[in-house]
Amino acid sequence: KNQVEQSPQSLIILEGKNCTLQCNYTVSPFSNLRWYKQDTGRGPVSLTIMTFSENTKSNGRYTATLDADTKQSSLHITASQLSDSASYICVVSAGSSGSARQLTFGSGTQLTVLP
Amino acid sequence: SQTIHQWPATLVQPVGSPLSLECTVEGTSNPNLYWYRQAAGRGLQLLFYSVGIGQISSEVPQNLSASRPQDRQFILSSKKLLLSDSGFYLCAWSDDNRIWPQHFGDGTRLSIL
């Protein structure tokens, strides 16, 4: 069964600090992986998408890494801001036939940034 | 630019009552449309997706149904709500031939009493 596990479940940091969120997956065959940011009461917004051949991808203060051998991804946030407080969701796609049912969603990491 | 509208934002319904949630997309044509449900502490669960008018794929057996009467309109319905239908419902769309929901609506918080 395809699964995506995220850790920690929740995280509290002070403004200006860095943090790293983890995503472990058991999805086969792996196609690609995406990180979303979801503000409270809103829909998720895509941050990055990574394919099998990519190890690192950045989007401003967000940097995602992917290790396809260990089936792990991380999302690193640099110099956190209050607006970074949100749930961060890891989503993994299996196979290549292009069906929406191939997506497996993690339950998210709830990040709180305090002043 | 493309926008997605979902309403209502919140809804409180008694058990056994009907449901109709509406989602519309602007600024694109022939999008793939999705309905997801998000339970507390759980990942998003795909309920329905549609690649065209009248074409609905159902992912889980449940008390809900979906319809796509127009190209950019997607409706989630139920004839009789159950307590287990409570949750956060999200509509999303993507360009043709892409499976990733690229853009999500702001969701409907549904509470069943």
Interval A19-71: pLDDT, tens: 999 999 998 888 889 999 999 989 999 998 888 888 999 999 999 999 989 99
Q: Which residue of B has its CA nearest to A44?
A: B104
Which residues from A are below 8 Å from B when comparing CB atoms? 4, 9, 34, 41-46, 49, 89, 91, 93, 98-108
State the amino acid at position B22 in one-letter form: E
Per-residue pLDDT, B18:
96
**R_g (Cα) of chain A, nearest Å:** 14
Picking from A43, A45, A100, the nearest residue to B107 by CB comes out as: A43
Q: Which residues have C-beta within 8 Å of that of residue B27, sequence separation ≥ 6?
A: B1, B2, B3
Question: What is the share, in percent, of chain A residues with pLDDT greater than 90?
Answer: 72
The sheet with strand B73-78 has its strands ordered as: B3-7, B19-26, B73-78, B65-70
Contacts of A89 in chain B (CB under 8 A): 43-44
CB contact under 8 A, A43 and B106: yes
How large is the greatest C-alpha to C-alpha distance in chain A, in angstroms?
A: 46
Q: Smallest Cα–Cα separation from A55: which of A46, A63, A45?
A: A63
What's the average model confidence in pLDDT over A73-92?
97
- Under an 8 A CB cutoff, do A107 and B42 touch? yes
The residue behind tokens 């918080």 is B109
| Closest-CA residue of chain B to A34 | B100
Mean pLDDT of chain B: 91
B76 beta partners: B21, B66
Residues A85 and A103: their CA atoms lie apart, in Å, by: 25
Q: What is the mean pLDDT of residues A68-87?
A: 96
CB contact under 8 A, B43 and A89: yes
Q: Measured between alpha carbons, how far is residue B97 from residues A14, A18, A40, B27, B51 in Å?
A: 42, 37, 30, 17, 9
Q: Does B93 touch chain A (CB under 8 A)?
A: no
